[in-house]
Structure 1
Amino acid sequence: MISKTLLLLRRVARNLVARVVFGAVLAFAMAFLSPLFEPLLPDEWEIKIGPDAVIPILNILATTMLTVTTFSLSVMVQAYQAAASQATPRAYRLHLSDTTTHTVLAVFTGAFLYSLTALVMFRAGLYPDNAAVMILGVTVLVIVAIIVSILRWIEHLSTLGSMDDTLQMVDRQARDPLYNALRRPALGGLPVAPDAEIPEAAWPLPAPSSGYLQFINMEALHDALTKADASITLIVSPGAHVLKGAPLGWVLGDIEERTALSNCFTFGEIRTAEQDARFGVVVLNETAVRALSPGINDPGTAVDVVHRLARLFSEAEPPKAQPPQFPRIEAPALTATQLMEDGFEPLIRAGAGHPEVIGTVLDTLAKLEHAEWRDLAQAARRTRAYALHHAQESIEVKEDRDALARRV
């Protein structure tokens, strides 16, 4: 379980601006600190290499890297907009965490700022006369980094923004939160019983702000409850939309610093995937529903999403009973019914009139009925009956209905 500080650091590390700024700072540091290592170089190198040998290279770097950075940014924006229009706007958010694109742009921008800074310092006479050797050595390293980044960028551009790339990214980012939620039910706390009653002495913990619940710092919350000898029963999970003042849970025990509990919850305007195990499944489903819209009319993408959902669910290990890591916290556990609702039901309603799509859904659910996770198998059986009912009501051609009936 990551802490809130680590969560914020991970978000900053994935941010495009943060990576570009880091590259720029590194470039400035290299330009300013390189003369400090100059005494380590042989004297004959200083005689052969002077500012006249380095400045033309820096001029070329400054000119070309500005052009390359501008072009790369325009390509990135167009690719992300295409992904948002063809798949779903939520896929656009996942594309924004693409580490390859961010790293390449950081190298290009950092190389531009490095060469520009070195040129200014040379022209202003801020470098000693014998610093050209060290600057040339650093420039060679920068050129090597640019070449590697260009090769990565060329390979990445071949798929950037395509439907295959978008689905693969969503699939990949859906797996870890989902499987973590199954390995650690209730976020490491005690699962809330379906028929649990709230004690009369419990008081509600209000939400400090409105928005999507993005993260619960379970460790800090449990520590605060332990100090006060209290416990809490959460009624919301990450991914839920909460209004300010609405109860997040019910606390049993007296706590003076109630804001310490509220500070353990992170809210935002959008859903994120750190703890939201259902978010990736929802994005996959939205992509399939969008593909079936009249404006796109791409049943093949919907079929692809069904197959990805099948792999995602079939490879999930059943939740296992284990001692809770945070026994003072009761939290809702992820259920197989929720996964079926998020992954298949909207798709069934949108694709009920497409025999090729609904037929794939029925075949997939039939396979999931034999899953090792019993709850998933039962949920798949119920969802399959739901899908068949929709298909029988939506498909007008009798031959198509009969073909589906034979697959049951």
Structure 2
Amino acid sequence: MSRVLQAWSSMSSRSRFFVRRLRERLWVKPLMICLLSIAAAFTAGLADQFEFEYIPEISRESVETLLSILSASMLVIAVFAVGAMLSAYASASNAATPRTFPVVVSDDVSQNALSTFIGSFIFSIIAQIALMNGYYEEQGRFALFLLTALVFSVVILGFVRWVDRIARLGRLGSTIDKVEAVVINTLKQRARHPTMRANKAGEFETGIAIYADRVGYVQHIDVAKLQRLAEQQDFRLQVAAMPGSFATPGQALAYINGVIDDEAAIASIKEAFILGGDRTFDEDPRFGLVVLAEIASRALSPAVNDPGTAIDIIGTLLRMFVIWTDNYEEVDSEAVEFNRIAVPELSASDMMDDAFNAIARDGAGTIEVALRLQKTFEALALLENNNIKVAASQHADYAYKHAELALKLDEDIATLRSAMAWKNAVS
């Protein structure tokens, strides 16, 4: 029974990963809606098979007129929508960072609106052709009229929602909010399962190294599949390359404690590590922190000179570490689901490196940013997490050293030094 559950968990884990990748493709939803539109146009004809006591008489000409209006307008609107969306995507990438593109392009409202416009066009064309060839009788024409009215309503509502969304989609604030939402979700999942439902790394000794066959970022690890293979081949495995790691043929993906001579099993272990050309947000919380730090660094560049955005992102990063602390659950070695697999936990120091180092460097010459960093580190040092406390103290020193070299006024340096008085109280 346990093997069946593990197989199901493995399949669902990989399926969820690939479904999330499909959400980043603009053609998926329009294709599904197009197929649904074709089915709806022909389904209306099924009404002719039923007898009704009273059916309002709908002339063929009136339905043709409605469908003609729909087909003539929807293709134009769909083309306009694509142009507006591409412009918003380009604006988001330029204002923030190109790494935000997968988050922006996954916007449900925009994808749904585009799908509605294209699907309505396909529905009107198919329905017109069927109507002109006598596919519908009296009941079918009435059903088609109702469907057409419904399509009009959906198009109008979708267009109104889309106009409101597209006006905000390319804005920097909207992009930051979207990235924050995705990263918070990823952080919560990892905080609740720091070792991905496996043992802590170091629970057993390392052994035979399993190397990657190609170069790429680890995007997903199928831990359930690794557990199933470990049970079948009687070995224990320690993951060495976590999601977000850059894998090369000379870098170990995992270490096996045991004997394994089956080449097929080794190949299956490698297949459990999905590699790609880019990092993804789904299982890589550190990538989200890096992206937010990149946005802040760009805002602090001389060409942009927008310290307000950097300060806003510092507040966002603080919220994320608070959420991490609030949701963090210690690993119970007796309750792990994958007892033959060991996975390293995220390092608080590494996470703070990703979040704050670039901002501390690029914002060192701006006293407002330097002060906000020190206040943030003070807040982090007060959290009930010893690892974060230690890392906050270290990063406060790091940020101060950068600022001391970059600030020109002694008064600013003195102000910043006084803002670090919290270190004496905490220590």
| TM-score range normalised by the length of the shorter chain | over 0.9
CA–CA distance in 1 between the matches of 2:249 and 2:103? 27
Match of 2:16 among 1, 6, 29: 6
CA–CA distance in 2 between the matches of 1:90 and 1:374? 32
Match of 1:382 among 394, 398, 413: 394
CA–CA distance in 2 between the matches of 1:321 and 1:253? 24
Match of 1:370 among 378, 382, 407: 382
**Does residue 1:102 correspond to 2:120, yes or no?**
no
Match of 2:254 among 218, 228, 249: 249
Q: In the TM superposition, what is the alpha-carbon distance from 1:39 to its structure 2 partner?
A: 3.3
1:271-286, aligned counterparts within 5 Å? 271-286=279-294
Match of 1:402 among 398, 414, 417: 414
CA–CA distance in 2 between the matches of 1:262 and 1:293? 41
**Which residue matches 1:23?**
33
In structure 1, give the amino acid aligned to 2:282: E
Match of 2:300 among 256, 276, 292: 292
Q: How many pairs does the alignment contain? A: 403
In structure 1, give the amino acid aligned to 2:371: G
**Does residue 1:142 correspond to 2:151, yes or no?**
yes
Q: In the TM superposition, what is the alpha-carbon distance from 1:24 to its structure 2 partner?
A: 0.6
CA–CA distance in 2 between the matches of 1:277 and 1:218? 18
Relative to structure 2, which stretch is displaced further, 64-73 or 35-44?
A: 35-44
Contact 2:186 2:283 in 1 (8 A): yes
**Does residue 1:333 correspond to 2:345, yes or no?**
yes
Q: In the TM superposition, what is the alpha-carbon distance from 1:154 to its structure 2 partner?
A: 2.5
**Which residue matches 2:174?**
165
Q: In the TM superposition, what is the alpha-carbon distance from 1:308 to its structure 2 partner?
A: 0.4
Match of 1:91 among 78, 100, 113: 100
Relative to structure 2, which stretch is displaced further, 23-32 or 121-130?
A: 121-130
CA distance 1:13–1:88, shift in 2 (3 Å): closer
Q: Which runs of 5+ in 1 are unaligned?
A: none
Relative to structure 2, which stretch is displaced further, 219-228 or 248-257?
A: 248-257
**Which residue matches 2:322?**
314
Q: In the TM superposition, what is the alpha-carbon distance from 1:373 to its structure 2 partner?
A: 1.4
**Which residue matches 1:305?**
313
Contact 2:236 2:258 in 1 (8 A): yes
Runs ≥4 residues deviating over 6 A = none
Q: In the TM superposition, what is the alpha-carbon distance from 1:44 to its structure 2 partner?
A: 4.6
CA distance 1:165–1:115, shift in 2 (3 Å): same
Identity of aligned pairs, percent?
Answer: 29
**Which residue matches 2:243?**
238
Secondary structure of 1:214's partner? strand
CA–CA distance in 2 between the matches of 1:345 and 1:57? 60
Secondary structure of 1:400's partner? helix
CA–CA distance in 2 between the matches of 1:403 and 1:38? 82
Q: In the TM superposition, what is the alpha-carbon distance from 1:224 to its structure 2 partner?
A: 1.0
Q: Which whole-Å deviations, capped at 9, do the CAs of 1:58-97 have from their partners, x for residues lacking one?
A: 0111111111111111111111111111111011221111
CA–CA distance in 2 between the matches of 1:384 and 1:132? 72
CA–CA distance in 1 between the matches of 2:391 and 2:226? 33
In structure 1, give the amino acid aligned to 2:291: V
Secondary structure of 1:185's partner? coil
1:32-51, aligned counterparts within 5 Å? 32-40=42-50, 42=52, 44-45=54-55, 48-51=57-60
**Which residue matches 1:68?**
77
Q: Which whole-Å deviations, capped at 9, do the CAs of 1:155-201 have from their partners, x for residues lacking one?
A: 2133111111001001000011112112111222122249x853xxx
CA–CA distance in 2 between the matches of 1:364 and 1:297? 21
**Does residue 1:208 correspond to 2:213, yes or no?**
yes
- The CA RMSD over aligned residues, in Å, is 1.8
CA–CA distance in 1 between the matches of 2:371 and 2:308? 12
Q: In the TM superposition, what is the alpha-carbon distance from 1:126 to its structure 2 partner?
A: 4.0
CA distance 1:225–1:197, shift in 2 (3 Å): closer
Q: In the TM superposition, what is the alpha-carbon distance from 1:131 to its structure 2 partner?
A: 2.5
**Which residue matches 1:52?**
61
CA–CA distance in 1 between the matches of 2:373 and 2:70? 54
CA–CA distance in 1 between the matches of 2:149 and 2:380? 56
Secondary structure of 1:190's partner? strand
For normalisation by structure 1, the TM-score amounts to 0.94
Contact 2:104 2:169 in 1 (8 A): no
Contact 1:236 1:332 in 2 (8 A): no
CA–CA distance in 1 between the matches of 2:277 and 2:287? 14
Q: In the TM superposition, what is the alpha-carbon distance from 1:130 to its structure 2 partner?
A: 5.1
Contact 2:184 2:323 in 1 (8 A): no
Secondary structure of 1:45's partner? coil
CA–CA distance in 2 between the matches of 1:3 and 1:177? 14
